[in-house]
Structure 1
Amino acid sequence: MLTTMRADLTTALKARDRVTAAALRSALAAFDNASAVEAAPAAGSGEHVAGAATGVGAAEAERRSLSRDDLDAVLDEEIRERSAAAEVYAQAGRAADAERLRAEAAVLARYRSDA
């Protein structure tokens, strides 16, 4: 799914499809955030910055592998957030913004495993 979403993001950017590009960028960022591992407190200190790590791979962040269920849960949350925000915008009389958020939710819904 992530590979497909990244390829579709490239296509959307080339086509200048702002709605699809915005939805996919946000979802891919949410997946990256969900795969982040809680950072351990710094053990030592670097020469110039207290707690700084040095050496090969010091800047690499640990990631955990997300299962399809994890990806679907993150995707569901992204869809739910857009739908809720669309309702708030609609009630506030901002129909164009509400429609844009609904369109983004529809884009993301295509990537559900049961879709």
Structure 2
Amino acid sequence: MRARDKAAVSALRTTLAALDNAEAVPVDEAELRGVALEQSPVGVGATEAARRELSERSVVDVVRAEAAERLEVAAQLTAPAQADRVAQLRAEAAVLVRFLDGPGTA
């Protein structure tokens, strides 16, 4: 990371965001409409919701899906002008696959 590996930084940032999204708990629509403004909770942590804890298998599935998505998009980009973007997507997918292969290869 210190070498400013842009592909690794980009892949890891978006994958961490995907993991955060996977941990989110769905909000009931009734909860969104149910309380008047003056009755809404106030204070630090008043609106915090417990997050799901992902299993190791779920984390691997999310990372694998992120890598597959990059490879799929790279395969769809065929114009010569998009060659740089294709190379970037493939490099990001390779970074994620290295993490899936094991701790000694990352």
RCO comparison, higher one (Cα < 8 Å, 6+): 2
Same fold (TM over 0.5): yes
When the two structures are aligned, how many residues end up with a matched partner?
A: 98
CA positional deviation for 1:38: 0.7
Q: Contact 1:35 / 1:64 at 8 angstroms: preserved in 2?
A: yes
- Asked whether 1:21 is paired with 2:9, we answer yes
* TM-score using structure 1 length: 0.75
Q: Distance in 2 between matches of 1:76 and 1:21?
A: 17
Residue identity in the other structure for 2:75? E
Say what the alpha-carbon RMSD is for the aligned residues. Answer: 1.8
More helix by share: 2
CA positional deviation for 1:56: 4.0
- Determine which of 80, 83, 108 is the counterpart of 2:96: 108
Report what 1:44 is aligned to: 35
CA positional deviation for 1:76: 1.1
- Asked whether 1:96 is paired with 2:84, we answer yes
Q: Distance in 2 between matches of 1:32 and 1:62?
A: 12
For 1:28-107, what aligned pairs fall within 5 Å after superposition?
A: 28-40=16-28, 41-42=31-32, 43-47=34-38, 52-89=40-77, 91-93=78-80, 94-107=82-95
4+ runs deviating over 4 angstroms: none
State, as a whole percentage, how many aligned pairs show the same letter: 43
